[in-house]
Amino acid sequence: MQTKKIFRIGLIIERSRAFGRELCEGIITYAQNRDDWHLQFMTLQDLRRRQIRNSMDGFIARVTSNAFAKLLKSTGKPVVDIYYENPLPGFAVVKTKHESVGLLAAEHFLDRRFKNFAYCPYGGGRTSAYCKKAFIRSLRRAGFGCNVYSSNNEIAYDLDASDHISDIMMPPRDAKQLEKWLLSLPKPVAVFCPSDLRAWQINGICRSAGINVPREVAVLGLDNDIIICGTARPMLSSIDPNTRKIGHTAAETLADMMENGIPQRMLVKQIPPTRVVARASSETAPVEPAWLADALVYIQRNAKHGISASDVFAKLGRSHTSVTKAFRSILGITVQGEIARTRLEEAKYLLLTTELHMSEIAARSGFASVTYFLQAFSATFGKTPKTWRASRMNLNGSSSRLQ
């Protein structure tokens, strides 16, 4: 009886950060559905030992240097890079769709009617550079500029760090320069950081400098690290990059390479983020009077729960006439129109991230009926929800082969 082939998969991924752990969860979710994969965590030291690296059938790694890439290349085994720093020909790359990250960040702040924007990088690398480019491009299309922070003292992003969470207890090396930059920004301003840790640092510096978050500085991070976001004051809004999907797709890609051969051209798969997880650090609207901003926050939080314009009037304790007049003259929209707009954004998220039927999406978005939802969606976006979902799925599921 022939013994079944067991594939030994080397994982070179840091686990001190939520991003790395969720990558591993996605890989494990794939591996647990087959009985011929054996996963083994490795370090760079392990990789330098020829006997160990040659015993593997394939690798999934966060490749961060030329030396690292060359070691993996020397094995002649399939490699899936989920960092995309220095890929070599024959590698497959599975990465975050940074264009979608930048667009989500811009839309999040534009929906809240900000006019001043800033970008605060963290650790260099391609992720930071790509997110910056996409964020600025999206703002430019909407007619806005962006203030970009620059520092020679910025902390480097270290994949080999053993304790990421302890980093939030330490002030950044460029704290004084960051404070000076934040104080100089026109207020109110929306700041996007391509890292929850950087967003945490911005939060803390604002607090010590007497800058109100989110009224003066609204903050948005990336990775949706629950520990960092949930223990910040105020809690941090963050983009969920769909990390488990990246890990699962990396495992699927490696399996295909082991079974069908390493592609001659580099295979690139981009995974779009799921959504902005809105928390207190960006729950604001830069409009006056203050009660109008409170009304917009109330609608953002509760539109999917079936509220009506009457609930907004009651929450504010103001007359129908005064609130309606302010919405029309300052925002150019009715109260019910703003509620409907917010519900449609929730519906778009559910269309992209679930396989729910239209009736369930309508209910979860706060629409009174599926008929009204279908009519409102088609009138606003020029497509039925099903057609819109199919077109976005085809766009987001694309991959490419590069020279």
Q: What is the pLDDT of residue 399?
A: 39
Average pLDDT over residues 225-238: 93
Q: What is the pLDDT of residue 162?
A: 43
Average pLDDT over residues 347-363: 90
Split at pLDDT 50, 70, 90, the class of 2 is low
Split at pLDDT 50, 70, 90, the class of 397 is very low
Split at pLDDT 50, 70, 90, the class of 394 is low
Q: Is the pLDDT of residue 154 over 60?
A: no
Average per-residue pLDDT for the chain? 88
**Which is more confident, 273 or 125?**
273
Split at pLDDT 50, 70, 90, the class of 64 is confident
Q: What is the pLDDT of residue 88?
A: 81
Say what the pTM is.
0.84
Split at pLDDT 50, 70, 90, the class of 304 is very high
Split at pLDDT 50, 70, 90, the class of 163 is very low
Q: Is the pLDDT of residue 403 over 60?
A: no
**Which is more confident, 42 or 162?**
42
The domains found in the chain, sorted by start residue, are: 7-96+243-273 (3.40.50.2300), 98-240+276-282 (3.40.50.2300), 290-395 (1.10.10.60)
What are 374-388's pLDDT values in tens digits? 999 999 999 999 999
Q: What is the pLDDT of residue 398?
A: 42
What are 190-218's pLDDT values in tens digits? 999 999 999 999 999 999 999 999 999 99
Q: What is the pLDDT of residue 393?
A: 67
Q: What is the pLDDT of residue 168?
A: 59
Split at pLDDT 50, 70, 90, the class of 182 is very high
Cα 96-100-103 angle, rounded to 5 deg: 145
Average pLDDT over residues 89-116: 92
Query: How far apart are the C-alpha atoms of 155 and 149, rounded to whole Å?
Result: 13
**Which is more confident, 372 or 158?**
372
Average pLDDT over residues 83-89: 78
Q: What is the pLDDT of residue 3?
A: 65
Q: What is the pLDDT of residue 219?
A: 98
Average pLDDT over residues 248-265: 89
Average pLDDT over residues 281-305: 91
Q: What is the pLDDT of residue 391?
A: 83
Average pLDDT over residues 279-305: 91
Average pLDDT over residues 299-328: 93
Split at pLDDT 50, 70, 90, the class of 161 is very low
